[in-house]
Chain A
Amino acid sequence: MSEASSIQDTLDTRAGGRMALLSEFWSYFSENRGAVMGLVFFVCIVLIAIFADFIAPHAPNHQYREAFLQPPFWQDGGSLRFPLGTDAVGRDLLSRLIYGSRFSLFIGCIVVSVSLFVGIFLGLCAGFFRGKVDTVIMRIMDVVLAFPSLLLALVLVALLGPSLINAMIAIAIVQQPHYVRLTRAAVMGEMTKDYVTAARVIGVKRLRLMFVTILPNCMAPLIVQAALSFSTAILDAAALGFLGMGAQPPTPEWGTMLAEAREFILRAWWVVTFPGLSILFTVLAINLMGDGLRDALDPKLKRS
C-alpha cells in the first residue's frame, strides 16, 4: 500500500469515526423519549421566536382601549380576536407571549455563550498552568460561589442599573464558576493522559496544546452544563424581571409580564397563568434535552 493511500484511509476512518460518533450519540439521545420531546418543543419555540412577526395576531405593545382584561376565548366575555385574553391595558396576551420567546432565547444564548467562552478560557488556564494562576482564579470563583446566585445577580444589577442587558451580564458572571470548575477538572484529568505527553514530546506549542489538543476532549461535560445553564439563565432572568430588576416594561419578557400581572392575580387568572406556563414549559424542555445530552455524552453511564 502506498503512503498516500494509507493517509487517505486514515482520513476516511476519521471522517467515518466522526459520523459513527454522531450516530451513536443520536441513538443514545433518541432512546430517551423525554429528551426528544424536549428537543421538539425547543425547536418549536425557536421557530415561534423567529417567525413571531408572522404568527402573532397583534403587535405586542398595541393597546386596545375597548378590551381591558378580556378573558381567554373559552370563557364568558372572551373572543377569538384575543385567544388568550388581554392584559390590564388591553394588550393581546398571546402576541406578547409569542414575542416574549425571543427574549428568553436571546437571554439564554447570550448568557451561555459569554459564560462558556470566559469560563473555558479561565478553567483551561487554571487547569493547564496550575500553581499561582490556578489559585488566583479558583479563589475568585470561590468568592463568587459564596453568594447565593440570585442575590449576587440582584446586587450586580443594582450596581449596573436595571435593564435586560445588565441582567444578562449579572447572570453570566454568577454562572461563571461552574464552567471554570468543570473545565479545570476535565483539563486536569486529560493532562495526565499519554496523548498529551506525546504531543508535548513532539513539541506542540503551548496554545495549540491547550486549545486544539486538550480542549476538544473536555467538551462533553461542558455541553451538558451549557444546556442546563441555558434554562437557569432563562429562570434567573425571569426572576430578575419579576423583581423589577430585569427587562423593563413594556418589554414583553415573561418575568416582567408576571410582575405587571401581580396585582390582578385574584381578578384575572390568565394574565398570571400563561406567562408562567411559558417559562415552565420552555425551561422544562431544555432540562429534558440536557438530561438526554448527559446520558448520551457521559461515558460513565454509557458503560453501565
Chain B
Amino acid sequence: MLKFLLKKLGVLLPTFFGVTLVAFIFIRLLPGDPVLLLAGERGMTEERHAQLMAEFGFDRPVLEQYVTYVGNLVQGDLGKSIITKKPVTEEFFTLFPATLELSFCAILIAVFFGLPAGMIAATRRGSAFDHSVMAGALTGYSMPIFWWGLLLIILFSGTLGWTPVSGRISLLYYFEPVTGFMLIDSLLSGQSGAFSSALSHLILPSIVLATIPLAVIARQTRSAMLEVLGEDYVRTAKAKGLGPGRVIGIHALRNAMIPVITVIGLQVGVLFAGAILTETIFSWPGIGKWMVDSIFRRDYPSVQGGLLLIAAVVMLVNLVVDLLYGLVNPQIRHTD
C-alpha cells in the first residue's frame, strides 16, 4: 500500500508543479502591465511603479521570480486581494465552507437517489421504471444547470413562494460562524427558525448542483450492476437458493460499488465546475461565485490563488479516492 501511495504521489507532485507553473504564468500572460494588475492602484507615479516592481520582484529574472513564488506558496502566502486587501488564502478559506456545505449536500442527494435508482433499474432491466430512470438520467446529464436553476427559482421562489432566491440564511439571523457550515452553526446558535431558514436556502442550490452527479451515478450504478449480475458467482448464489435481497444486496452490490465509488470521487471536479454556475445563480457566497466575481473585478491575485487552491483540493480528493480504491480493490495496486 505504501508503494502504491508513493507511486500515486510520484504522478501527483509533477502535476502540482505544473499547476503552480500555470498559475504563475497566468498573471504574466494577461494583457497589460502585471504590476498595475497586481497592485490595482490608479494614477501610479513612476517611483511608486518602480517600488512595486521591486516589491513584486518583476525586476528579477523569471526563474528567480518563480522560485520566490513557490517559496511563498509553501509558506501559505498567495498574495493579497486587490479589492479587499486581505490575503487570498484567508478569503479562500472563509468562503470554502459554503462551497463545501453545498457540494456535500449535493453529493448526498445524488448518492441517495442515484444509487437506488440505478440498482432497481438494473434488476428490472427493460421495465418501465428502467426506461424512465435512463431517460431521466440522460436528461439530467444533458441539462444546462444554470437554466435549470433559473427554472426552479421561477417555480419554487416565484410562483409558489416556498424558498428564498439567494444567500445562505435570512438576514434576520446572525451568529458567529463556528464550523462555517450554516446548517450546523444555525443549530448551535439556538435561535429558533435559524436552522429551517438555512435549510430552505440550501435546498434549491443543492438540487441544481446534484443534477449532473445524480444522473452520472444512476447510469454508472445501473451499468456496473448489470455487469455484475451477469457474473458466475451471482448465478451460483442464486442457484444456492439465496433470496434476491441477499444476492443483490450482498453479492452483487459489493462488487458493483467499486466502479461507482470511483465515479463518485470523480464528481468532485464536476461539482466545482457546477458550483461556479450554481453559486452565481443563487448568490451563494462560496468559492465559485468568488472566482467569477474576482474575474469580473480583475482581482487577478485572487483568480491566481483560487485557481491554484481549487486545483490542489481537486487533486487531493482524487488522491484520496485513488487510495480508497486501492484499499477496496487490491488488484489495482499492482497494475499500471
The interface of chain A, by Cβ under 8 A from chain B, is 34, 139-140, 142-143, 146-151, 154-155, 158-159, 161, 231, 235, 238-239, 242-245, 255, 258, 262, 265-266, 269, 272-273, 275-276, 279-280, 283-284, 287-288, 291, 304
The 10 closest A-B pairs by CB, nearest first: A276-B147, A143-B18, A150-B273, A148-B272, A283-B142, A148-B273, A284-B142, A142-B15, A266-B158, A279-B144
**Contact A239 B142, beta carbon cutoff 8 Å:** no
Report A94 CB to chain B, min CB distance, Å: 18
B269 contacts chain A at the CB level, 8 A cutoff:
yes
Cα distance, A283 to B138, chains bound together (Å): 10
> Which of B115-123, B148-156, B254-262 lies at the interface with chain A?
B148-156
Contacts A262-B150, A280-B143, A280-B147 aside, 13 further interface pairs with beta carbons under 8 A come to A140-B18, A143-B19, A148-B272, A150-B276, A154-B276, A154-B291, A155-B26, A155-B307, A243-B280, A273-B151, A284-B138, A287-B138, A287-B141
B310 contacts chain A at the CB level, 8 A cutoff:
yes
Neighbour of B146 across the interface among A147, A148, A258, CB < 8 A: A258
Chain B residues near A283 (CB-CB < 8 A): 142, 144
> Which positions 272-318 of chain B face chain A at CB distance < 8 Å?
272-274, 276-277, 280, 291-292, 295-296, 303, 307, 310-311, 314-315
Report B249 CB to chain A, min CB distance, Å: 24
Chain B residues near A150 (CB-CB < 8 A): 273-274, 276-277
Chain B residues near A159 (CB-CB < 8 A): 26, 29-30
Cα distance, A149 to B273, chains bound together (Å): 7
Chain A residues near B148 (CB-CB < 8 A): 276
Neighbour of B295 across the interface among A154, A239, A284, CB < 8 A: A154
Q: Name the residue of chain B whose CB is nearest to the CB of A304.
A: B230
Cα distance, A148 to B15, chains bound together (Å): 14
**Contact A155 B310, beta carbon cutoff 8 Å:** no
Report A300 CB to chain B, min CB distance, Å: 10
**Contact A239 B138, beta carbon cutoff 8 Å:** no
**Contact B150 A276, beta carbon cutoff 8 Å:** yes
**Contact A272 B310, beta carbon cutoff 8 Å:** no
Report B134 CB to chain A, min CB distance, Å: 8
B83 contacts chain A at the CB level, 8 A cutoff:
no
**Contact A272 B154, beta carbon cutoff 8 Å:** yes
Chain B residues near A266 (CB-CB < 8 A): 154, 158
| A265 and B150 in contact, given A283-B144, A284-B142, A291-B138 (Cβ under 8 angstroms) | yes
Chain A residues near B19 (CB-CB < 8 A): 143, 146-147
**Contact A276 B303, beta carbon cutoff 8 Å:** no
| A276 and B138 in contact, given A150-B273, A158-B303 (Cβ under 8 angstroms) | no
B22 contacts chain A at the CB level, 8 A cutoff:
yes
**Contact A155 B277, beta carbon cutoff 8 Å:** no
Of the A-B pairs whose beta carbons lie under 8 Å apart in the complex, a sample of 20, sorted by A's number, is A142-B11, A142-B15, A146-B315, A147-B311, A150-B276, A151-B276, A151-B310, A154-B276, A154-B291, A155-B307, A239-B144, A239-B146, A243-B280, A244-B296, A245-B295, A255-B146, A262-B150, A269-B154, A283-B142, A287-B141
**Contact B139 A284, beta carbon cutoff 8 Å:** yes
Q: Name the residue of chain A whose CB is nearest to the CB of B226.
A: A304
Q: Name the residue of chain B whose CB is nearest to the CB of A285.
A: B142
The interface of chain B, by Cβ under 8 A from chain A, is 11, 14-16, 18-19, 21-22, 26, 29-31, 138-139, 141-144, 146-148, 150-151, 153-154, 158, 230, 269-270, 272-274, 276-277, 280, 291-292, 295-296, 303, 307, 310-311, 314-315
A-B pairs with beta carbons under 8 A, tally = 123
| A255 and B26 in contact, given A148-B270, A266-B154 (Cβ under 8 angstroms) | no
Cα distance, A273 to B18, chains bound together (Å): 42
Q: Which of A154, A273, A304 has the most CB of B within 10 A?
A: A154
**Contact B138 A288, beta carbon cutoff 8 Å:** yes
Cα distance, A269 to B148, chains bound together (Å): 13
Report B244 CB to chain A, min CB distance, Å: 22
Neighbour of B150 across the interface among A151, A238, A272, A287, CB < 8 A: A272
Cα distance, A231 to B243, chains bound together (Å): 43
Chain B residues near A255 (CB-CB < 8 A): 144, 146
Q: Name the residue of chain A whose CB is nearest to the CB of B131.
A: A34
**Contact A148 B314, beta carbon cutoff 8 Å:** yes
Report B324 CB to chain A, min CB distance, Å: 19
| A155 and B144 in contact, given A150-B276, A242-B277 (Cβ under 8 angstroms) | no
Chain A residues near B314 (CB-CB < 8 A): 146-148
Chain B residues near A231 (CB-CB < 8 A): 142
Q: Which of A245, A255, A265 has the most CB of B within 10 A?
A: A265
Cα distance, A154 to B270, chains bound together (Å): 14
Cα distance, A244 to B276, chains bound together (Å): 13
Chain B residues near A258 (CB-CB < 8 A): 144, 146-147, 150
Report A206 CB to chain B, min CB distance, Å: 25
**Contact A155 B303, beta carbon cutoff 8 Å:** yes
Chain A residues near B153 (CB-CB < 8 A): 265
**Contact A243 B277, beta carbon cutoff 8 Å:** yes
Q: Name the residue of chain B whose CB is nearest to the CB of A286.
A: B142
Report B160 CB to chain A, min CB distance, Å: 12
Cα distance, A46 to B150, chains bound together (Å): 27
